[in-house]
Structure 1
């Protein structure tokens, strides 16, 4: 099943980025000291699911509750916040309170349909029920609205020493998923490619293809095989990746490592094939890399700064001329 019960995120302080992993319910409580369980809702489609999977109507107001249990022997502050689903650049479905996405309307972002985040203080081994109000969109919508509730302990981190002078601070988060739909019939995803451009990621030259899921469908087990060729039909970038997933109406930048050491301006061609189960999407697109793009991204050499060397040379020449002239005037 694509929708996992929980998503565990480890926020790494001192490093750039966010790393996450999906996990089953049994392992999400390990090391976190708390557990969370959704209270079964009357409009739940699959009552065996470990997340909210609701069949709703337009303009409907619902109350969703979660039971949060403090497993520790100390008082703790637990925050529960609504979050919306998106696809990160690793091709993984992730969640955050605000999603800046052109493919999904603001009224279709789950976090915007739910009441504000709540923080509760729990005594040792205590359980508290936290309830939120959800107002569904006033009009009809197809497919899924995907989101959830992020649960985390406030003011708590664990530090792992990696090497001398460097350590990682971990903060564990659990997301209880929520999907809203007005019909039980599934909507098929449609994959296309938006912008294609060169870039530099972590110091490495890459080609980025903005892969888009333009339908309100959640899907996974996707494989992408993509390559970029130049006008001589030589492969300059290629990458194949499996087990990707996409949130409804979302996009992510698919990275292809640039094989030459530099990027040359000119015309290029992207050939991309994406598959998921029996579905297959093929993209063939020409694009152009400008001289300005190549110049900005390519490693700088001494020749790249010829104008600076020219200025320095002129300064040296003027300085030598001034010194020699001063000596001549002194001798006279």
Structure 2
């Protein structure tokens, strides 16, 4: 694993934002923080909780502002991006550029192009320079499509500091990269839409070079799932034996998004064969049961196993070694007993 990968995997600190009213969000040790400026169309029942929850009208534009504060004694550069919300592999809603919410995913979950948050905003200045111990506004204009829509559109603002790592950070291969997310919920009515889940592809994959079997769970409706419980298992088809299990009780899902629910193989080889995945799901009280057969081919399993640097190979010779050791110990014990018997004679 190269140095850059170690940096990106080990050392990024992500700070999510759900803050108290009128409080600047700032992590300990961070050089900057952000504060939401609430517009008039912020839902009163939501209040000032650190994110935008807006009742909007079709065809209208809405300017939004987030204050970015520089706490340091040096000029800094902060980058702000607006993104459609996605669901991470660990069941979190996120707004980062590396979210799995590609155009391909949008098609899978039946997301209309004009209701895609990625097509509904204009950022005036993506990159802002802030003088020492001062504040600057980050501005975005929301452009609501000319149609009513049911449910919730979820996007967000993602802030991160643009800076060169120090010499010490480079030597230790650790970079303290503080980032903040500000969710944006859009509704033209306050009518909630019921979630609708389906099961997509089930296939092996590597996650940071560790072997997994991944099951795609699709949320095809504009509905935020705030509490998602999943009880999953994978059985071998030939004998019905359960080979992998996983249970989660506190996941979330963004509207019109995909969750790649992974079964961790604990660094054991991916074995070719025929399997069945079974998922029992509770999504905000709505129950689902999914069953799906899938096959892992020999060529496929071989390629994944050869690519995994953490794989613990099964050692078939180990059993022979154990048997030989037991036999050797037994022979030594018998030899000692025999010698003692001869001396007594």
Identify the TM-score tier after normalising by the shorter chain: 0.7 to 0.9
Report what 2:297 is aligned to: 290
Q: Please give the alpha-carbon distance, in whole angstroms, between the structure 2 residues aligned to 1:41 and 1:298.
A: 53
Query: Is the partner of 1:140 in helix, strand or coil?
Result: coil
Query: Is structure 2 residue 105 aligned with structure 1 residue 112?
Result: no
Query: Is structure 2 residue 191 aligned with structure 1 residue 197?
Result: no
Query: Is the partner of 1:124 in helix, strand or coil?
Result: coil
Query: Is the partner of 1:297 in helix, strand or coil?
Result: helix
Aligned pair in 2 of structure 1 residues 295, 119: CA closer, same or farther (>3 Å)? closer
Q: Please give the alpha-carbon distance, in whole angstroms, between the structure 2 residues aligned to 1:237 and 1:159.
A: 44
Report what 2:31 is aligned to: 33
Between stretches 261-270 and 14-23, larger displacement belongs to 14-23
Deviation at 1:234, TM superposition (A): 0.7
Aligned pair in 2 of structure 1 residues 280, 272: CA closer, same or farther (>3 Å)? same
Report what 1:77 is aligned to: 77
Identify the match of residue 274 of structure 1 among 253, 264, 281: 281
Report what 2:47 is aligned to: 47
TM-score by length of 2: 0.73
Aligned pair in 2 of structure 1 residues 206, 34: CA closer, same or farther (>3 Å)? closer
Deviation at 1:77, TM superposition (A): 2.3
**Does the 8 Å contact 1:109/1:147 carry over to 2?**
no
Between stretches 121-130 and 61-70, larger displacement belongs to 121-130
Q: Please give the alpha-carbon distance, in whole angstroms, between the structure 2 residues aligned to 1:12 and 1:289.
A: 29
Q: Please give the alpha-carbon distance, in whole angstroms, between the structure 2 residues aligned to 1:30 and 1:19.
A: 11
Structure 2 gaps of 5+ residues are 308-312, 314-345
Report what 1:151 is aligned to: 159
Query: Is the partner of 1:96 in helix, strand or coil?
Result: coil
Q: How does 1:57-136 map to 2 (within 5 A)?
A: 57-97=57-97, 99-100=101-102, 101-102=105-106, 103=109, 104-116=111-123, 117-136=125-144
Query: Is the partner of 1:16 in helix, strand or coil?
Result: helix
Cα deviation code 1:144-187 (max 9, x no counterpart): 1111222233225578769xx64211211111111111111222
**Does the 8 Å contact 1:142/1:187 carry over to 2?**
yes
Q: Please give the alpha-carbon distance, in whole angstroms, between the structure 2 residues aligned to 1:180 and 1:13.
A: 37
Query: Is the partner of 2:173 in helix, strand or coil?
Result: strand
**Does the 8 Å contact 2:75/2:130 carry over to 1?**
yes
Q: Please give the alpha-carbon distance, in whole angstroms, between the structure 1 residues aligned to 2:240 and 2:229.
A: 24
Cα deviation code 1:26-70 (max 9, x no counterpart): 663432222222222121113333211111122211111222222
Cα deviation code 1:183-204 (max 9, x no counterpart): 1122222222100112333444
Deviation at 1:255, TM superposition (A): 1.1
Aligned pair in 2 of structure 1 residues 200, 112: CA closer, same or farther (>3 Å)? same
Q: Please give the alpha-carbon distance, in whole angstroms, between the structure 2 residues aligned to 1:95 and 1:72.
A: 26
Cα deviation code 1:101-157 (max 9, x no counterpart): 232344333233111343332222222233221101223322111112222332255
Cα deviation code 1:206-242 (max 9, x no counterpart): 2210111111111233221111111210112211123
Identify the match of residue 16 of structure 1 among 2, 9, 14: 9
TM-score by length of 1: 0.76
Tell me the C-alpha RMSD between the 2 structures: 3.0
Q: Please give the alpha-carbon distance, in whole angstroms, between the structure 1 residues aligned to 2:79 and 2:27.
A: 15
Q: Please give the alpha-carbon distance, in whole angstroms, between the structure 2 residues aligned to 1:51 and 1:13.
A: 32
Query: Is the partner of 2:42 in helix, strand or coil?
Result: coil
Structure 1 gaps of 5+ residues are 1-10, 302-332
Identify the match of residue 174 of structure 2 among 162, 168, 171: 168
Report what 2:247 is aligned to: 240
